[in-house]
Structure 1
Amino acid sequence: MSEDIFNMREDKMLSYIIFTFANSCMPTLFKHKPSSLVTFQKRYIEKEEIFFRTLVAEAARFSCCCELLHENEKVLYVLVYQPELLEEILKKYGNNPLLKNHGYKIQERLLSFNLKVFQARFQKYKREAEFDFPHEVGIFLGYPIEDVEEYVKNNGENYLLCGYWKVYHNVEEALLTFAYFKRIREEAIQLFFSGEELSCV
């Protein structure tokens, strides 16, 4: 990715955030899924304090919040999420072993607690080679629960379709969802390059 594309606006940092949202977050920004896990490259970020302030403000335009999950010398891993949608889906699957067996407490108004549990597990996965991947990420990202469970059972293999997630059930429905996600992503990127607001999608 060339840094030249972030010269679309006077504020390069804002331009980088908007481009990343257009490329990776549109279904979440427009409330079609509860969250998106995004990576931001530090080489495009001059001052992290200003970056996070700008990121939070831009996400708020879409009623979204941001949680820094982990960082290393090169990358920031950020969860961009719709609080109400995420809380709703966590409550819906609160008795699923992927949540129940890993310290999550699925009750009303415990979203901040559960985000901290997820953050701690994600960081441990990134820092400790022997720590298992936190498969509950599929629930946080709003993937169909049947596909999340089958992914775990099959170790990510034997899927019927691979797109925004690995599909084990309801292929036709997944294809429609993938096509829609692809369309709004392409439209958002076009708006970015035309200098228009993403809210126009």
Structure 2
Amino acid sequence: MSIALYTCCSQPCNDSRFIQIVEMLGPVLFRAKPAEIVNFPKGSKMADARKEQIKEMVDKGGKIQYREFTTCHGCTKLLFFDIYMLEATLMDEEIYLFLQFLDYPLEFNIETYLDILITKMKKGEMPHEIGIFLGYPLKDVMGFMGYSTSKLTKINGWKVYGDPQQSDELYNKISTARARFKELLKIHQPENILSVI
């Protein structure tokens, strides 16, 4: 166990970047969104220690899962997800049809769909359909990709196209989950937070 990891696990954690990463998981843990992706820069011992600490926390909590992979640029990424929520999101009829349009298989399999997405990211690209996996409205992802005639309405966490009501509701849900999680972090150690959710 690294010194940084030991210190944060055995005493109050004051590593602001670690806490920031943990806060990013709040909306996934509170089921406001199905997934979140976190980047860890290449060649940083501190980033490696944080990554291992986050993985240990998630493994211990058992509420969400993650996939770890390295891009062609050497950057490590962790894709965190609630498997049930992600599966329900991707099986939505409109989303399912759109992903098929993007060459995802006709036969739905969550692991296969994740493999395809991650393979693209390993090559160094950030496929636009990542927004679907992260839970953003399909209309906004399609608008961003140029597959919609809806105009850009505003930017509120992401680019919103067309009628903003659905996007605003989701944004508020994510913001509420993040705020709720931050409050919990004030009274619980980050590495123990999953046991109280």
Q: CA distance change for structure 1 residues 135 and 59 in 2, over 3 Å: closer, same or farther?
A: farther
What runs of 5+ residues in structure 1 fail to find an aligned partner? 127-132
1:192 is aligned, of 185, 193, 196, to 185
RCO higher in structure (CA 8 A, sep ≥6): 2
Distance apart, 1:48 and its partner CA: 8.3
Please give the residue correspondences for 1:31-180 in structure 2 after superposition, counting only pairs within 5 Å: 31-41=31-41, 42-46=44-48, 50-51=52-53, 53-58=55-60, 60=62, 63-71=63-71, 72-73=73-74, 75-92=75-92, 93-96=95-98, 99-108=99-108, 110-126=109-125, 133-153=126-146, 159-180=152-173
RMSD: 3.6
The one-letter amino acid of 2:110's match is L
Deviation at 1:102, TM superposition (A): 4.2
Does the CA contact (< 8 Å) of 1:19 and 1:189 recur in 2? no
Give SS of 1:94's match.
helix
Identity %: 20
Structure 1 residue 40, shift from structure 2 partner: 3.5
Q: Give the TM-score taking structure 2 as reference length.
A: 0.72
- Equivalent position to 1:183, from 176, 189, 192: 176
Aligned-residue offset at 1:184: 2.5
**Contact 2:70–2:122, Cα closer than 8 Å, also in 1:** yes
CA–CA distance in structure 1, aligned partners of residues 154 and 29 of structure 2? 25
TM-score, L = length of structure 1: 0.71
Paired residues, what number?
183
* Moved segments of 4+, more than 6 Å: none
Structure 2 CA distance for aligned equivalents of residues 28 and 53 of structure 1: 15
